[in-house]
Amino acid sequence: MMRTRKVVNDMSKNINNLNFTRECAMNYAEEMHNNGSDTMTIPDCYSSIDGNVSFDSIEYFDECKTVIISPNVKTIPEYCFAGTDIRSVTMLGVELVSFSAFEGCRELVNLCAPNVKSIKENGFADCEKLSEVYMPNLSSISYLAFDNTNITTFDVSESMLFIGAGALRNPRSQITIELGKATPFIEGLSSDIFYTADVENNRYDTINGSLYSKDHTVLYSYCQPIDEHTDILPSTAVIERYAFCNAKADKIVIPESVLLIKDKAFVDANIETLEIRSRNVSIENNAGLSRADVSALSFPNDHSYLRTAENYIINGDTLIYLKIREADIEKDLFMFPDTTPIRHIAKESICYKLNKKISVFFPNDLVQLDHDPFSHGSSENISEVILHSNISEINDEAFEHFTGKVNLPIPADNYYSKEGFLYGAEDIIFPINLARYRLYKPEAFSDEEDY
């Protein structure tokens, strides 16, 4: 016997202004099942979907393949359809797709949403089969909105204002983004995206798939077409954030004209040789190099203020990038480069891929240790670090992702502990939790003594 659908809303409300609740979802899914259908339609009488609705946990919804949403619904709530097996979605009135609303819909192929204006983070991430998208009024795509989909061509409308970092990525095929005359702010996408732009576009120009400013002084996104090599234009002065995100190349040459490489420019890049020829280039933080895999790095020997080698960059007396390599380890011990004094180690500056456990001796001149320097690597492969007696400032999160032992030099006469924290002369606190450290006498490290 077919069960009659129950309307659970307060019928004293406007019949065309109902809220689609979890109980509604359960009733409609059961009715779909009883009718032997694979399509769920949210009728016109509903103007909103309750934030507590998560179709992945609704009985019988796993049988649903097609969803048609009331044209009066304007917003899809967070996680609403995430992880379901739907294949097609039509939502004629929706304007906002919230955080992770369709994330992980691995069977979703077709999407028709002519009035959607904004897609929040991860909105359609990991929809691996999604290839047919109709969104002519889209104006904003947030971080990772279409990450790991099967989209191969994305036509950007002139209403587009913002495309967030990593918003479009197809790991199986190069995506072509057709900007036309559109001039959105593009925070940075993957280097496996091929751009085209109309000659009348007043903000961007594209050269062999790479995205530049109209005057060719700013590189927004580097593209390396399949089986081809792309040189960076000699007029380039600025390399934007994420410009080389996910780039895979044997060699990339940064020309002498470049004056600034912004933070995160090389995030997740895999580059055999990175040759930076500019003698006056500035690097924000470490330009994402600690989150990349760069085998060999080179700078001009006469750079105005950077001290560099194949595996490190020192800015003044601050270490901003270091790659610990197997070749730099001697008897399971790594010593920092001693070519110039290192008094400060910047945040997220050290990366490493190791196949054995090692100890790390920090520089004798080190005074300041910023937060999370070891964040990019398998911290379990570093069994201990040894700091020296000049250290005076350790960030509270310096070893947040570090699981080994920290040997800290503290003269017993000048420091004391109280409530698990360390204090120095005149009650100046050392902002570290003693539970994560072992103290030793600096004058005789070989005769360690715990305090």
Instruction: Note the pLDDT tens digit of each residue in 282-312.
Output: 999 899 998 899 988 999 988 877 888 888 8
Q: What distance in Å separates the CA atoms of residue 285 and residue 161, rounded to the nearest whole number?
A: 28
Q: What distance in Å separates the CA atoms of residue 425 and residue 405, rounded to the nearest whole number?
A: 25
Domain ranges, ordered by start, for the chain: 324-451
pLDDT in the model for residue 106: 97
Please write down the HEC assignment for all residues of 406-446. EEEECCCCCCEEECCEEECHHHCEEEEEHHHEEEECCCCHH
The total of other beta-carbon atoms located within 10 Å of residue 340's CB is: 12
Give the Å distances, CA to CA, from 224 to 144, 211, 212, 221.
Answer: 21, 11, 14, 10
Q: For residue 254, what is the enclosing H or E element?
A: strand 248-254
Closest CA to 31 of 64, 76, 57, 9: 64
pLDDT in the model for residue 402: 73
101 contacts 76 by C-beta, under 8 angstroms? yes
pLDDT in the model for residue 373: 84
Report the b/e string of 138-149 with b at 16+ CB within 10 A: bbbbbbbbbbbb
18 contacts 44 by C-beta, under 8 angstroms? no
pLDDT in the model for residue 264: 92
- Contacts (Cβ under 8 Å, ≥6 apart) of 317: 340, 341, 342, 343, 344, 365
Question: Position of tokens 């069977």?
Answer: 107
Q: What distance in Å separates the CA atoms of residue 235 and residue 245, rounded to the nearest whole number?
A: 21
| Residue 29 falls in which region: left (phi positive, over 0), alpha (psi -120 to 50) or beta | alpha
Give the Å distances, CA to CA, from 427 to 391, 413, 415.
Answer: 17, 13, 9
Closest CA to 110 of 137, 90, 139, 84: 90
Q: What distance in Å separates the CA atoms of residue 429 and residue 413, rounded to the nearest whole number?
A: 15
269 contacts 191 by C-beta, under 8 angstroms? yes
pLDDT in the model for residue 386: 84
Question: Position of tokens 């800290």?
Answer: 408
pLDDT digits (tens), the chain, 451 positions: 444 444 444 433 455 689 999 999 999 999 999 999 999 999 999 999 999 999 999 999 999 999 999 999 999 999 999 999 999 999 999 999 999 999 999 999 999 999 999 999 999 999 999 999 999 999 999 989 999 999 999 999 888 999 988 899 888 888 999 998 988 988 877 777 899 999 999 999 999 999 999 999 999 999 877 666 778 999 999 999 999 988 888 999 999 999 999 999 999 899 999 999 999 999 998 999 988 999 889 999 888 778 888 888 998 899 999 988 888 888 888 888 777 789 999 988 888 888 888 888 888 888 888 888 877 776 678 888 888 777 777 776 777 767 777 777 665 555 666 665 566 555 545 555 555 566 665 554 444 444 3
| Residue 428 falls in which region: left (phi positive, over 0), alpha (psi -120 to 50) or beta | beta
Q: Which tokens go with 31?
A: 């009715």
27 contacts 8 by C-beta, under 8 angstroms? yes
Q: What distance in Å separates the CA atoms of residue 38 and residue 424, rounded to the nearest whole number?
A: 70
Q: For residue 24, what is the enclosing H or E element?
A: helix 22-34
Closest CA to 266 of 332, 323, 335, 324: 323
Prediction pTM value: 0.80
